[in-house]
A and B are shown apart, each in its own frame.
Chain A
Amino acid sequence: MFKELKERVRYALDELFAREIAGQVALFLTLVGVVILIGTTAVFFGLFATENANIQSIPRDIDGGFLDALWWSSKLVLNLPGLHGAYGATWPIVVYAGVLSFSSLATFAILISLVRTIIRRRLDSLRKGDTPVKERDHIVLLSWTGKTIPVLRQIAKLRARSKVVILAPLQVSAMQESLRSAGVSRLPVKVILRSGTPSNVDELVRVAAHRAASVVVLSTPHAGKPAGRDSEAIKTMMLLTGSVDMEGHRPTLIAEIEDPHNLQLASMAGRGQFQIVASGTVISKVIVQCIRNPGLSAVYRELFEPMGNSIYVEEIAAERGKTMRSIATRMPTAVPIGVTWSETTDGAQRVAAALNLEPEYELDDDDSLIVIAGQPGERTVAPDNRTEGVARTIGSGRSANTPRRVLLIGWNGELYDILAELDAHALDDTEITLLSVVSEDDAAERVAEFLDAPLKNVTVEFRVGNPVNQSAYHNLDLQDFDCIVVLADDAADAAEVDAYTLRIVLRLSDVSGEAPAVHTVVELTDGMNRPLFDSLDVTDIVASADIVSAELAQTARQPVLGPVYRELLRAGGVELSVRPVGDYLPGASECTFADLVLAAQGNLETAVGVMVGSEVLLNPPRDVRRKIDDSLQLVVLAQQLYR
């Protein structure tokens, strides 16, 4: 019975609330009426008893009965001071006083509601990131991709307390959660999030792109639609160079372009004002460099890890007119690797650079020195009064290893550049086996379509199979290969690519059994997954997002380094290479790094460090003597040679 009554009341209340305002007003009036009526019952409990005769707030002048009890109850329930003042007046006046008092109460309630609404909207706006950014000299990151968090990590390491504004078409709460789970909130960087579309002029103004120190445009992935790749980035570039009023300010503009086929369009959209990072090309170049130089990924890691040695530009006026050979042998704390200068092209000021100059190059008046060093700062250069060593010329045409048999596992957009780059370096009878889930016909068709030119020096055998399964390796002897490359396969779900790669590497380990490990290069989308491979036989790990992010962040920090990174991370030109020390100093049993600097100069190369086993020592002490054996290798900047 009670339960049924309770349910009926609850149902009635639900019905009333379902009617929104009208229902709630009706409920309010009903409640007021009921409570006032309950209050009038005080008349039966001695409201007008003689014991209460002295209580001023109990009225008695109307009838000393029900009407006075009703007045007393109404006054207490509604608490309307105006009504209280009208006690004893004529009924119309009482009604007026009641209406006015009630209106005053409603007016005040509306005012409170208004203030509450404004505060709530303001908080919602802050939560959604709708408010205009008032920062100056900040870094603007446009779009949210797998590289956003690595870029933030790099920026935090490169310059603590940087202010970074991120504009992306995501809920701020979703971005906050991603930052929190990635541990970015603990980094020494202030991140300001704004929800919006980067390819919109108003949004770009809202994040104060025109007052920023740097603006970094990330390429948004277009799942399953290769034709749409880079579209948003190119649109944003157009707006930044053509539609946003920069008010005379010139922020450093950097854009990531994934598809190499879009580079020309991006250059047009950037109108010469953008530094463009071709991310797909960067990754394929580094992978091929690692195929040809086992262990090179550790050099890149050291170079791009801001806590270690990094690339800096330095002014050393006193050294102008001196040769690169002279400077290199007299700098104890930095390795000079090239020069940079400003020049005007078509009326626009631009920065140019050159790496691995010949030892006889004399530092020009407008040259700044590019160095690899532990930290930026004024360099000590020893006085120019010591006898220079003599560079030993040991012949030309030296190059890194050239593998003859390569097993490529997996399929992604970088594959075509990898094939082209391997073809450019290949010896005549080089064979590439490509294992993926893509059918043989489809694979051949895609390679023919996306390669800019047919392969000349390599033959490609397509094998169909799931590389995670043992059956895919039937009749395939892994020991036959000089190098195995596991790509971050497009076939895997985006969030699971690295886990898929891990399963493939585990399968390779299973198939190899006790046989000696083959030089293996693995591409990861997230460098944080590197520890998963620590106990496996992997020679090189190329963390694609980390490398591209490092280039983006370092170029944002020092725009003059843009050409340097472009040169190091593109096909052709100068490249980093790892070569046996014994090749440079034949017959010697031990050497110092100073000896190797001279020996490399004799070969028109620039020595930047050594590798002892798997340990990379960039810019090492010059006078430490090391035994020359198979574990000691020289890290050089050298002209990339083609076959």
Chain B
Amino acid sequence: MTRVLLVEDNEMNRDMLSRRLRKKGYEVEMAIDGPAALEAAKTCNPDIVLMDLSLPIMDGWEVTRELRNYPATASLRIIALTAHAMDGDEAKAMEAGCDDYDTKPINFARLLEKIERQLARTD
């Protein structure tokens, strides 16, 4: 079963996304802030990370950079989720090490496509 690490501080987004992912057959682990995300990525061995960028304590960009610097998580698939609306945010996420980028409010069908695309990558 594909394991997704959902990093999201917003209770409602976390509840809805995890529920819909589980109904689609994914196993979902969750983290609510940056340090918890780093810990979970190292211990629960996820196949893909859905990373909210606005996180308390340590933001999503910083967590992504940390994950890329750590050998065991350096090749993790990471999709950034953000409510940031400024031009250049996508480039900023990619620069931090994200593999893809999606904006909130989440369009679940579009997000599923992005998840499947990342999981299908062979590199």
Residues of A within 8 A of B1 (CB): none
Comparing A42-50, A99-107, A349-357, the segment that makes contact with chain B is A349-357
Q: Are A572 and B10 in contact (CB under 8 A)?
A: yes
Cβ of A233 to closest chain B Cβ, rounded Å: 21
Alpha-carbon distance A563/B13, docked complex (angstroms): 11
> Is A604 located at the chain interface by the 8 A CB criterion?
yes
0/1 per residue, B88-114, Cβ < 8 Å to A? Answer: 000000000000000111111100000
Given contacts A361-B108, A604-B105, whether A642 and B11 have CB atoms under 8 Å apart is no
0/1 per residue, B46-85, Cβ < 8 Å to A? Answer: 0000000010100000000000000000000000000111
> Is B120 located at the chain interface by the 8 A CB criterion?
no
Most B-side CB within 10 Å, residue of A341, A354, A356, A424: A354
The chain A residue sitting closest to B56, CB to CB, is A452
**Which one of B12, B85, B105 contacts A353 once the chains associate, using CB atoms below 8 Å?**
B12
The chain B residue sitting closest to A604, CB to CB, is B105
Within 8 A of B (CB), among A100-118: none
> Is A200 located at the chain interface by the 8 A CB criterion?
no
Residues of A within 8 A of B15 (CB): 343, 352-354, 563
Alpha-carbon distance A358/B107, docked complex (angstroms): 6
> Is A314 located at the chain interface by the 8 A CB criterion?
no
Q: Are B16 and A639 in contact (CB under 8 A)?
A: no
Residues of A within 8 A of B11 (CB): 563, 566-567
Cβ of A74 to closest chain B Cβ, rounded Å: 87
Interface size class of B (residues with CB under 8 A): 20 to 34
> Is A396 located at the chain interface by the 8 A CB criterion?
yes
Q: Are A643 and B84 in contact (CB under 8 A)?
A: yes
> Is A451 located at the chain interface by the 8 A CB criterion?
no
Q: Are A573 and B12 in contact (CB under 8 A)?
A: yes
Q: Are A604 and B56 in contact (CB under 8 A)?
A: no
Residues of A within 8 A of B104 (CB): 639
Alpha-carbon distance A424/B107, docked complex (angstroms): 23
> Is A461 located at the chain interface by the 8 A CB criterion?
no
> Is B19 located at the chain interface by the 8 A CB criterion?
yes
The chain A residue sitting closest to B12, CB to CB, is A567
Alpha-carbon distance A574/B106, docked complex (angstroms): 12
Most B-side CB within 10 Å, residue of A341, A358, A360, A424: A358
Q: Are B56 and A343 in contact (CB under 8 A)?
A: no
Q: Are A358 and B108 in contact (CB under 8 A)?
A: yes
Residues of B within 8 A of A639 (CB): 83, 104-105
Residues of A within 8 A of B105 (CB): 356, 358, 574, 604, 638-639
Cβ of B93 to closest chain A Cβ, rounded Å: 13
Interface size class of A (residues with CB under 8 A): 20 to 34
Within 8 A of A (CB), among B1-18: 9-13, 15-16
Cβ of A402 to closest chain B Cβ, rounded Å: 10
**Which one of B12, B23, B85 contacts A397 once the chains associate, using CB atoms below 8 Å?**
B85
> Is A399 located at the chain interface by the 8 A CB criterion?
yes
Q: Are A343 and B19 in contact (CB under 8 A)?
A: yes
Alpha-carbon distance A125/B101, docked complex (angstroms): 66
Within 8 A of B (CB), among A535-579: 563, 566-567, 572-574
Most A-side CB within 10 Å, residue of B12, B54, B107: B12
Alpha-carbon distance A95/B104, docked complex (angstroms): 102
> Is A641 located at the chain interface by the 8 A CB criterion?
yes
Q: Are A354 and B12 in contact (CB under 8 A)?
A: yes
Most B-side CB within 10 Å, residue of A399, A563, A572: A572
Given contacts A563-B15, A643-B85, whether A573 and B10 have CB atoms under 8 Å apart is yes
Q: Are B107 and A604 in contact (CB under 8 A)?
A: yes
Q: Are A641 and B12 in contact (CB under 8 A)?
A: no
The chain B residue sitting closest to A341, CB to CB, is B19
Cβ of A320 to closest chain B Cβ, rounded Å: 14
Alpha-carbon distance A477/B34, docked complex (angstroms): 43
Q: Are A354 and B16 in contact (CB under 8 A)?
A: yes
Alpha-carbon distance A638/B85, docked complex (angstroms): 13
Q: Are A643 and B12 in contact (CB under 8 A)?
A: no
The chain B residue sitting closest to A639, CB to CB, is B105
Cβ of B89 to closest chain A Cβ, rounded Å: 9
Alpha-carbon distance A120/B106, docked complex (angstroms): 67
Alpha-carbon distance A353/B19, docked complex (angstroms): 11
0/1 per residue, A353-378, Cβ < 8 Å to B? Answer: 11111101100100000000000000
> Is A466 located at the chain interface by the 8 A CB criterion?
no
> Is A640 located at the chain interface by the 8 A CB criterion?
yes
Most B-side CB within 10 Å, residue of A353, A356, A364, A642: A642
Residues of B within 8 A of A397 (CB): 85
Cβ of B87 to closest chain A Cβ, rounded Å: 9
The chain B residue sitting closest to A339, CB to CB, is B16
Q: Are B12 and A563 in contact (CB under 8 A)?
A: yes
11 further contact pairs, Cβ within 8 A, besides A341-B19, A572-B54: A353-B12, A354-B12, A356-B105, A572-B10, A572-B83, A574-B12, A638-B105, A640-B83, A641-B84, A642-B83, A643-B85
Q: Can you list 14 pairs linking A and B with CB atoms under 8 Å apart?
A: A353-B12, A354-B15, A360-B107, A396-B85, A399-B85, A572-B83, A573-B10, A573-B12, A604-B105, A639-B104, A640-B83, A641-B83, A642-B85, A643-B84
List 8 tightest A-B contacts by C-beta distance, closest first: A354-B16, A352-B15, A641-B85, A639-B105, A397-B85, A573-B10, A604-B105, A567-B12
Instruction: Give the A-binding residues of B (Cβ under 8 A).
Output: 9-13, 15-16, 19, 23, 54, 56, 83-86, 103-109
